[in-house]
Amino acid sequence: MKKIFSIIVLVLIFASCRSQNKTMTSQEKADYSKPKLVVGIVVDQMRYDYLTRFESKFGEGGFKRMMREGFNCKNNHFNYVPTYTGPGHASVYTGTTPKYNGIIGNNWYDKVSKEMVYCAGDENVSPIGTEDDAGKMSPHRMQTTTFSDENRLFTQMQGKTIGISLKDRGAILPAGHTANAAYWFHGMEEGSWISSSFYMNELPKWVKDFNTSDATESYLKVWNTLYDISTYTESVSDENTFEGGFGGKDKATFPYDLKALSKDNRGFDIIKATPYGNSLTADFAMAAIKAESLGKDAITDVLTVSFSSTDYIGHNFGVNSKEIEDTYLRLDKDLERFFKYLDATVGEGEYTVFLTADHGAIDVPNYLKSVRIPAGYLDNRATKSRFDKFLIKHYKNSGIVENVSNNQIFLNRKFIDSIGLNINDVQERIVNELIGYKNIDKVFSAYTMTTTSFTTGIESLLQNGYSQKRSGDIIIVPDTNYISYGSTGSTHGSGLNHDTHVPLLFFGKGVKHGETLDKTVIPDIAPTISALLGISFPNSTTGKPLGFVLD
């Protein structure tokens, strides 16, 4: 009996050792094949052709390192309209489009509360690190998970997620619902990185230290070109009629004395609209890696970084400006510095990076016109006045329209019902009216969007951006290259190539070297990273993993 007992004990010990060894080995193996850190980089308003246009002036350690060591998807596009910042960031990380993630604009008309809402705005949270409403933000309006959420679930909340961007929406939406933290920049007189009670009750010490250091103040300096301006042959002359410029300075020309200009340009906010805003973002991201020990163990962490200054500068000076050229040459230097830091702290080959954009941008329409390319500006006042007359003539009431925003019309469904009309008939009648208006190229009804399945063309892009619950009754497509914007600077939002075609670069652990001209779409990014990590795809992914990118 005793002997049998000891044999059983021995067998049990042996079995438990074996199973423990086996588990440990497979665990180690699984962890070994995963990056310690995934860094997602979004460059706000980066067109694909910036990679090629400025390539000869880039250094070896930034964009060119990603292309040299990693994989370049050269035909990567947004597959929905509108191509705005909120939807862009949400789509990169949720692996789907506004139709499912619900981020249908930066701001949109909320059919329930009957007011405009902001994609990251949240009245139920409080600001942290400021008293300002700039801190009342959360991802609550995003309806689906991000790959960073899935990594949190997969790792039992052991893998950290931190989101960083000058813009709140650029930090919050990528980091997802389960993030440890998201930080964004509040300029004005404060010039500090802030958060909200959605994430924490108090800023961690390292953030407070960063805010009280002279890190931000030191960028209130003179912005001049990195290299001799005469070598900037990839952009139009510095002085031209297509640029906005800063308040308090007559001409939009180098150099810009930021300290002197700051009082006429909302204090520290001026830094956001210069390349130093990107440098500050990189500084803060590196401080986060160090203080939060990101990528220090075998459990994958996720850091999302969005460089916003590129967008402010594009809006102000336009895509063809010397200011944009200088911004990208400087961003290249910031990326080099950032990658070197990752090599030193996480280890070369131990992390994986992807870089893309949230949308592109159009050349300044006045510039396009000057070189005889069809382009122009929408006369919204004339359109509204003609449309109001139509509504009064046919419905005796212009109040039949509740809201017009993001090229969509929201109808008062209750009122339409009360006067005994059918909503589909009213939509159809308005479609037929508007298509006759100047500079309106296409008009679709909600009925069409929800009853027809489009697979190609602008119709398909509109449908991918269309949320039956949140979007409007009528969708308008302006003429090609016609925008609602001031006469200087660039903007974005359309389904045209200049807005949809953006870089997609992967490099680091698990990524092959190569390039493709096969079409990829933004929602492919999240499932590709999920596949690399061996985790669930975000819950509403419509993209596909890009197998050819992975080792």
Choose between 90 and 252: whose C-beta lies nearer to Zn ion: 252
- Sign for the CA dihedral angle at 159, 165, 170, 171 comes to positive
Is 504 buried (19+), middle (13-18) or exposed (0-12) by CB count in 10 A?
A: buried
Q: Select 97 or 151, whichever has its Cβ closest to Zn ion.
A: 97
Q: 506 - beta bridge partners?
A: 71, 354
111 exposure class (CB count in 10 Å sphere: 0-12, 13-18, 19+): middle
Nearer to Zn ion, 85 or 352 (CB): 85
Report in angstroms how near the CB of residue 251 gets to Zn ion at its nearest. Answer: 8
Q: Which two tokens stand for residue 502?
A: 């953006």
Task: Give the one residue of 90, 252, 305, 505 binding Zn ion; rule: CB under 5 A.
Answer: 252
Of 192, 156, 149, 204, residue with least CA distance to 174:
149
Binding segment (CB under 5 A) for Zn ion, from list 15-23, 237-245, 272-280, 346-354: 237-245
For the CB of residue 315, give the shortest distance to Zn ion in the complex, in Å.
Answer: 5
Find the binding residues for Zn ion in span 168-197 (CB under 5 A).
Answer: none
Instruction: Choose between 311 and 473: whose C-beta lies nearer to Zn ion.
Output: 311
For 150, how many CA atoms within 13 A lie in the half-sphere containing its CB? 23
Q: Whole-number minimum distance, CB 103 to Zn ion, in Å?
A: 12
Whichever of 151 and 265 has its CB closer to Zn ion, that residue is 265
Should residue 325 be labelled a site residue for Zn ion when binding is judged by CB under 5 A? no
> Which of 76, 79, 83, 85: binder of Zn ion (CB under 5 A)?
85
Binding segment for Zn ion among 85-93, 380-388, 392-400, 475-483 (CB under 5 A)?
A: 85-93
Give me the residue whose beta carbon is nearest to Zn ion. 85
Answer for the pair 166, 148: CB distance below 8 angstroms, yes or no. Answer: no
The count of residues interacting with Zn ion (CB under 5 A) is 7
Q: Give the dihedral sign, CA 271/275/280/281.
A: positive
**Given the residues 83, 85, 145, 327, the one annotated as active site:** 85
Say whether residue 44 binds Zn ion (CB under 5 A).
Answer: yes
The answer to whether 85 is a known catalytic residue is yes
In angstroms, give the least distance from the CB of 63 to Zn ion.
19
**Contact string (CB under 5 A) for Zn ion, positions 348-387, x = contact:** ----------x-----------------------------
Contact flag: residue 311 with Zn ion (CB under 5 A) = yes
Q: Does 326 bind Zn ion (CB under 5 A)?
A: no
Residues 6+ apart with CB under 8 A from 124: 138, 140
Distances (CA, A) of 135 to 167, 199, 308, 494, 522: 11, 11, 18, 30, 29
CA distances (Å), origin 534, targets 22, 150, 155, 180, 462: 19, 10, 11, 21, 32
Q: In this complex, which beta carbon is closest to Zn ion, that of residue 325 or of residue 473?
A: 325
Tokens of 534: 């061996």
Q: Between 57 and 249, whose beta carbon lies closer to Zn ion?
A: 249
Angle at 26 between CA 20 and CA 29, to 5 degrees: 135
Judge contact between 51 and 546, C-beta under 8 A. Answer: no
Residue 349, phi-psi category: left (phi > 0), alpha (psi -120 to 50), beta (remainder)? left
Q: Choose, by CB under 5 A, the member of 150, 190, 238, 363 that binds Zn ion.
A: 238
State in angstroms the smallest separation of the CB of 435 from Zn ion: 28
CB 273 within 8 A of CB 325: no
Tell me how far, at minimum, the Cβ of 168 lies from Zn ion, in Å.
Answer: 12
- Smallest gap from Cβ 253 to Zn ion, in A, equals 5
Residues forming contacts to Zn ion in the complex (CB under 5 A) are 44, 85, 238, 243, 252, 311, 358
Catalytic positions are: 85
